[in-house]
Amino acid sequence: MFSIPISLRNSGSDKVIAVGTGFFYSKNEKLYFITNWHNVTGINPITKEPLSSHGSQPHQIMMPVLVKDEFIDWDYVEFDLYKDESNCEPDWMVHPIHGEKIDVVVIEFDSVLDNRIIPVNECKWDLDYPLEISDDIFVLGYPKGLSVAGHLPIWKKASVASEPQVHYNGLPCFLIDTASREGMSGAPVIYKRTGVHFKKQAGKVDVKSTIFGVLWNFVGIYSGRIHGTTELDAQLGIVWKKEVIDEIIEGNTYDVLSSQFKKY
């Protein structure tokens, strides 16, 4: 299980103020939790306005994790989003250059979990076959909080809508064609390609690399849709390329919320 539903709450309250998705990632023998910046702040990273009408800002995350057992059973993990009791020092890292403009955060996970946690980058992926435009992809999230068999994700199908090798709006992301819903933000995105596959060398097809079957690969982090004036105007979603995770971890830059955010 590498896609996990998250409930975001205020400190000292059991009331859930927002839901989303996240997943685990490993690097240098450390475990990290990945989700969106707007999930942990409750703020739109572009407009800097609160995402909800109540304007509440989350302080804690609660998530279910599979227990190591022969049966499907769940345990629940809670952790604070801030280092201090006054909730002023974020405990998440942001991109060292672009900050919250890249809507992805990394949280170092110190707790030892005796559970079925699967970091997404420890799965066996077909890394030699890069993503291409029009590929089928799946967003593994929890639309409107929906899940299967307790807390297993919904596989929402989409297709690549912009050239994945080219940055969108000058940032390391690409667009997908999908009609997703709230609760899927922060979900891992994987591609599935069926048929005959070739590797490319210097832009040319390497015929000797021909294989048949199904390819799978982790390609990024979903962070929501581009909205038009109506729900049907722009059914396009944003996926941040997986490379930003390593850039954030290596940058080791903890977020600093400005006073304009703290008032919410």
What are the tokens at 73?
A: 């059973």
Q: Where are the beta strands (DSSP E) in 109-184?
A: 136-141, 154-160, 173-177
Give the model's pLDDT for residue 52: 77
| CA–CA separation, 186 and 174 (whole Å) | 15
Q: Is the pLDDT of residue 202 over 70?
A: no
Give, in order, the Cα–Cα distances in Å from 57 to each of 18, 36, 262.
9, 14, 8
Mean pLDDT score, 33-49: 93
Number of domains in the chain: 1
CATH number for the domain spanning 142: value is 2.40.10.120
- pLDDT per residue over 119-159, tens digit each? 999 998 988 888 889 899 999 999 888 888 778 899 999 99
Within 8 A by CB and 6+ apart from 150, the residues are: 64, 72, 74
**How wide is the angle at C-alpha 3 spanned by C-alphas 24 and 29, nearest 5°?**
15
What pLDDT shows up at residue 251? 98
Retrieve residue 251's tokens: 């940058």
Which amino acid would we find at residue 72? Answer: I
Average confidence (pLDDT) over 69-83: 83
pLDDT value at residue 144: 82
Degrees to nearest 5, angle at CA 85 with 29 and 109: 10
Q: How far is the first Cα of the chain from the last one, in angstroms, to the nearest whole number? A: 34
What H or E segment, with its residue span, contains residue 52?
A: none
Q: Where are the alpha helices (DSSP H) in the chain?
A: 37-41, 243-251, 259-262
Residues in the chain: 264
Q: What is residue 65's predicted lDDT score, i.e. its pLDDT? A: 84
3-state helix, strand, coil in the chain (%, to 5): 10, 45, 45
Q: Is the pLDDT of residue 218 over 50?
A: yes
pLDDT level of residue 2 (50, 70, 90 thresholds): confident
Residue 256: which domain range?
4-262
List the one residue out of 107, 219, 233, 127 whose CA is nearest residue 173: 219
